[in-house]
């Protein structure tokens, strides 16, 4: 059953996360290894994260999703990455204010002909009760960052893994396309992506 397959991959992911080495604060970790720049953690590949035992808070949700993607691909699981932007940040940036857009990257799988989304940062599989469509708003229930997140892209793993700079991710937040910085996403537009386009079915 697909839920059991997902949980098995989550178990493997969280086993890797529990073996992390070094400071769990990103700035401290970067200082310790002698690197700078906000693009560093976006540039990490799943293999680099696993090999160097990089802590979850250092790699962030982008890195956790990349590691999940690798493990899920190795396990033969079909899935997509879902990029979401924190709505207040997104609105400020869209309206021309100089603003870093925070976001949260999660995973979706097909269950009974419908995309179901979950957060690989959680060790136990919990589907998020929302329609996985571009333009939809999601409440992840974060206590430290209350508010909703805007789904801006549903990406095949090969595309998602090309996100290796903040600018590319910001472009995805703006337009759903890592090469297009213009704000074209419309909140609540709920643009569906045919499953055959995501999973390569004829």
Phi, psi of 22 (to 5 degrees): 100, 175
Residues with Cβ within 8 Å of 100's Cβ and at least 6 positions away in sequence, in order, are: 89, 166
pLDDT of amino acid 184 = 95
| pTM over 0.85, yes/no | yes
pLDDT of amino acid 202 = 41
Average pLDDT by stretches of 10, the chain with 202 residues: 94 95 94 93 95 94 96 94 95 90 94 91 93 91 75 95 96 97 88 68 47
pLDDT of amino acid 141 = 79
Whole-angstrom distance, CA of residue 55 vs CA of residue 18: 8
pLDDT of amino acid 113 = 84
pLDDT of amino acid 191 = 66
pLDDT of amino acid 130 = 87
Residue span of the structural domain in which 34 resides: 2-199
pLDDT of amino acid 17 = 94
**Dihedral sign, Cα of residue 43, residue 46, residue 48, residue 49:** positive
pLDDT of amino acid 117 = 95
pLDDT of amino acid 196 = 67
Q: How many domains does the chain have?
A: 1
Q: What are the tokens at 118?
A: 């979950």
Q: Do 176 and 185 touch, CB atoms closer than 8 A?
A: yes
């Amino acid at each position: 059953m697909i839920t059991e397959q997902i949980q098995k991959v989550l178990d493997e992911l969280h086993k890797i996360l529990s073996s992390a080495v070094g400071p769990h604060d990103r700035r401290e970790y970067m200082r310790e290894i002698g690197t700078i720049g906000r693009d560093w953690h976006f540039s990490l590949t799943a293999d680099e994260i696993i090999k160097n035992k990089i802590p979850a808070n250092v790699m962030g949700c982008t890195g956790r999703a990349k590691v999940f993607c690798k493990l899920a691909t190795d396990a033969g699981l079909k899935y997509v990455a879902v990029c979401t932007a924190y709505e207040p940040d997104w609105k400020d940036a869209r309206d021309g204010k100089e603003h870093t857009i925070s976001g949260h990257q999660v995973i979706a799988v097909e269950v009974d002909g419908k995309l179901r989304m979950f957060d690989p940062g959680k060790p136990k599989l919990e589907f998020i009760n929302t329609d996985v469509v571009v333009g939809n708003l999601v409440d992840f229930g974060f206590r430290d960052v209350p508010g909703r997140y805007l789904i801006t892209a549903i990406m095949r793993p090969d595309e998602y893994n090309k996100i290796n700079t903040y600018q590319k991710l910001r472009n995805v937040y703006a337009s759903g396309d890592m090469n297009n910085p213009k704000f074209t996403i419309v909140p609540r537009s709920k643009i569906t992506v045919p499953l055959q386009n995501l999973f390569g079915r004829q």
